[in-house]
Structure 1
Amino acid sequence: MTNSDRTPHPRRKGPGREEGKRRTRQQLLDAALTVFAREGFHAARLDDVAREAGLTKGAVYSNFASKEDLFLALYDHRLGEVAPRMVQAFARPGDERLEAIEAVLGEAAPNSTWLQLELEFCLFALRHESARLKLAERGRWVRQALHAALETHSVTLDRPLPVSVGVLAWTLPALTLALELQANVMPEDRPARVWPTLLRTLVGQESSRPSRAEEGCSSEGC
C-alpha cells in the first residue's frame, strides 16, 4: 500500500449533511423562541433551549456563539420576512400602495410576547456594546431598504412629502415600535385605525377627515 493509499480523503459534505444542519438550526430557533417567550431574554438559559429542542448544549454552541447571537438570529428571521414585503408594498401602483403598506405593517406589528422580547433586548444592547453594534447594523439595513422604497414612492406623488425621505426612514420603524408599546400598555384606549391615519399623513397621501372614533374620542370626552 502506498502512502497515497493511506492518506484519508476529506469527508465531503453532501446534501443530506447540510439538510441535517439546517434542520438542527431551525429546531434551535423554534426552541429559543419558546424559551425566550416563557422566561424572557435575561432569564433564559442555553441549557433550557437545548432541552426544549431535544438536543445537547454542544449543538447550541455549534450553531450560535452565545445567547445574544441566538436571539439576533431570530430577529434576522423576522426582518427577513417583513422588509422585502414592505419594499414590494411601496412599489405597488396608486391607491393599492397604502393598503398594501398598511397590511404589511399590521401583520408585522409585534405581538405582546415579541414586543417584550424586543424591548428587553434593546435594554440589554444599551448596556453591552457588542450587542448594540449588532442591533444598530440591523437598524441601518432596515432604514436603507425603507429609504429606497420611500424614494421610489415620493416620485409618484403630486406633492412633496411632509418631511424628508431620510427622516421618514428613521421615524417609521421607531414610531411602529412606540405605537405597539402604547397599545399593549393601554389597549382599551387605542383609537381606531390610528396607524393607517398617521401613515397616510406621513407618506403624503392624506386620508379623508377622520371620524370621531379615529380621533380617539370617548363617550365621556366627545
Structure 2
Amino acid sequence: MVRLTRAQQQARTRAAVLAAAREEFVEHGYAAAKVDRIAERTDLTRGAVYSNFPSKRALYLAVLVDLVENAPPAAPSPTASLPGALGAFARTWLERLPLVDDPAAGGRLQLRSLVGVVDDEPGRAVLAQLARLEALLLALGLESCEPDPRAPRRVRLAELVLTMLNGSGLMAELAPGFGDPFDRALACEHLAGLAGERGLGDTWDPPYLTFVGLAERCREPWDPPTGLLDHLTGSPADLGADGLVVALGARRLSAAEEAVRSARPGEQVTVAVVTADPAETGSLVRLRVSDLTACLRRVFPPEAWGHVRLIVSDGAVAAAALGVNGYDDQTEAAVRVRDGMVVARSQGRGAAYAAATGESAHDPRGAGA
C-alpha cells in the first residue's frame, strides 16, 4: 500500500472538491449551489471543503480557473493584418458561447459567467481594473500588426471589441440563441475601419504624470526571482533583463500601461499582480487573465508582446524581490534594472513612470539614471 504524503493528500482532496463543485455548479448554477451537497458528493464534511476553499465564491472561481487553464490547447493561427487579427480574436473568444439546447447552469459555467458572483463594491472595482488591463493586452497585440512605430495606440479599439464580445456573452446567458456569432466576429473585423488613420483619436498622455515625484536613485544588486510564469506567452519569465519590474495591486492594474508606455526602447517591462486575498481576488484576476491570454496566444505570435511580461500566480514572489512585503490591492511599486543592478525604485501612484524616467515630467535635470 502506497502512503501519500500530506501534500499529496491535500492535492487529491482539493481535486475531488473541485470536481464535485463543478458538477454542482453545472446542475444548479452558482446561486442555488450548496456547499453541503458538494461535501456529500466527496464524502467530506462541510468544514473540510471550507478548509480548502474559504467561501462558495472562492470555490466557484477556482472551478472556472481550472476549466480555463486545463482546457485542451488549440493550434495557434497567427494573422498579420489588423482586420484579420480582430476577426480571429473574436471567433476564438466566441467559441465559449453555449448552444441553445445546453442546460442553463452549465452554459453559464462555460461562459465564465460572473453574474451574481462578483456583486460587491471591491469586486466590481477589481473587475473595472481588469477590463483596463485586458484592453491593454489586446491593444498590444493589435499594435504589433502595424510595423510602423508611429502607428496609433489601439486601446480604445480593443475596448470596443471587448465590449461587443462581453455583451455577446451576457446576451447568450439572458437570451440563449439570440444573434449570430459569425455576424459579431465580422463586425469586430470591420471595427478596424472605424479606427482609421487617426486611431479613434487614441493617445496616451495622462495629465497626472506631470505631478509624479522623483524615483529614488540607487545602486543595489538585483537578485531576480526564477521559475515564474509569463501569462502572455505561457513560458518562464526571465526577470534578469534590463528594464522595469512593477508590482501592482488588483485595484491598480490600469497602471500597467504606465509601465508599458514609459519604458525606454529595448528595455523589458514585467508587471506582477499582487493581492492580499489570493482565494477570491487572486482567483478572479487569474481567471480573467488566463482566459484572455489563452485567446490571444491563438491569434498573435509570441513576439507580439515584445518586451512585456505579465506575472499573476506568483506576483508575491516578484513583489518580495522588489522589497515590497506589505502589499494590498492598492499597491504600486517599481524598480528599474540596468546591468544587473537596481538603479531606481519608487512606490505609490505613478511608481512605474517615476522608475522608468528617473525623474518627474517637470524636472529640469534631463534623463534619469
Q: Which bin holds the TM-score, normalised by the shorter protein?
A: 0.5 to 0.7
Confirm whether residue 107 of structure 1 aligns to residue 107 of structure 2: no
Q: Which structure dedicates a bigger proportion of its chain to helix?
A: 1
In structure 2, the residue matched to 1:125 is 118
Tell whether the 8 Å contact from 2:17 to 2:38 is kept in structure 1 after alignment. yes
Q: Secondary structure at the match of 1:29?
A: helix
- Could you tell me how far apart the structure 1 residues matched to 2:66 and 2:125 are? 16
Farther-moved stretch of structure 1 (190-199 vs 168-177): 168-177
Task: Report the CA distance shift for 1:81/1:116 in structure 2 as closer, same or farther (over 3 A).
Answer: same
Residues 193-214 of structure 1: per-residue CA shift (max 9 Å, x gap): 11220221234599xxxxxxxx
Shift of 1:33: 1.7
- One-letter amino acid of the counterpart of residue 73, structure 1: A
- One-letter amino acid of the counterpart of residue 167, structure 2: A
Task: Report the CA distance shift for 1:54/1:175 in structure 2 as closer, same or farther (over 3 A).
Answer: farther
Confirm whether residue 178 of structure 1 aligns to residue 178 of structure 2: no
- Residue 28 of structure 2, aligned match among 26, 31, 39: 39
Shift of 1:143: 4.4
- Could you tell me how far apart the structure 2 residues matched to 1:177 and 1:81 are? 22
User: Structure 1: where are the runs of 5+ without partners?
Assistant: 1-13, 207-222
- Could you tell me how far apart the structure 1 residues matched to 2:53 and 2:181 are? 42
What is the TM-score with the length of structure 1 in the denominator? 0.60
- Could you tell me how far apart the structure 2 residues matched to 1:37 and 1:192 are? 23
Tell whether the 8 Å contact from 2:135 to 2:162 is kept in structure 1 after alignment. no
Task: Report the CA distance shift for 1:186/1:15 in structure 2 as closer, same or farther (over 3 A).
Answer: closer
- Residue 94 of structure 1, aligned match among 80, 100, 105: 80
Shift of 1:21: 1.8
Residues 38-66 of structure 1: per-residue CA shift (max 9 Å, x gap): 22222221111111223222221111111
What is the TM-score with the length of structure 2 in the denominator? 0.39
- One-letter amino acid of the counterpart of residue 113, structure 1: A
Tell whether the 8 Å contact from 1:32 to 1:49 is kept in structure 2 after alignment. yes
Please report the RMSD computed on the Cα atoms of aligned residues, expressed in angstroms: 4.0
Shift of 1:137: 2.9
Q: Is the radius of gyration larger for structure 1 or structure 2?
A: 1
Shift of 1:26: 1.9
- Could you tell me how far apart the structure 1 residues matched to 2:19 and 2:46 are? 15
- Could you tell me how far apart the structure 1 residues matched to 2:25 and 2:123 are? 19
Identity of aligned residues (%): 23
Tell whether the 8 Å contact from 2:21 to 2:38 is kept in structure 1 after alignment. yes
Q: Number of residue pairs matched?
A: 180
Q: Which structure dedicates a bigger proportion of its chain to strand?
A: 2
Shift of 1:146: 4.6
- Could you tell me how far apart the structure 2 residues matched to 1:140 and 1:201 are? 27
Q: Which has the higher contact order (CA 8 A, sep 6+)?
A: 2
Tell whether the 8 Å contact from 2:17 to 2:39 is kept in structure 1 after alignment. yes
- Could you tell me how far apart the structure 2 residues matched to 1:15 and 1:164 are? 53
- One-letter amino acid of the counterpart of residue 28, structure 1: V
- Could you tell me how far apart the structure 2 residues matched to 1:197 and 1:52 are? 44
- One-letter amino acid of the counterpart of residue 105, structure 2: T
Confirm whether residue 66 of structure 1 aligns to residue 55 of structure 2: yes
- Could you tell me how far apart the structure 2 residues matched to 1:100 and 1:48 are? 41
- Residue 57 of structure 1, aligned match among 46, 52, 56: 46
- Could you tell me how far apart the structure 2 residues matched to 1:176 and 1:48 are? 34
Residues 156-186 of structure 1: per-residue CA shift (max 9 Å, x gap): 2389xxx963334444444223213434625
- Could you tell me how far apart the structure 2 residues matched to 1:51 and 1:81 are? 25
Residues 71-101 of structure 1: per-residue CA shift (max 9 Å, x gap): 122233345468x98xx76xx2426745652
- Could you tell me how far apart the structure 2 residues matched to 1:157 and 1:107 are? 26
- One-letter amino acid of the counterpart of residue 31, structure 1: A
- One-letter amino acid of the counterpart of residue 71, structure 1: Y
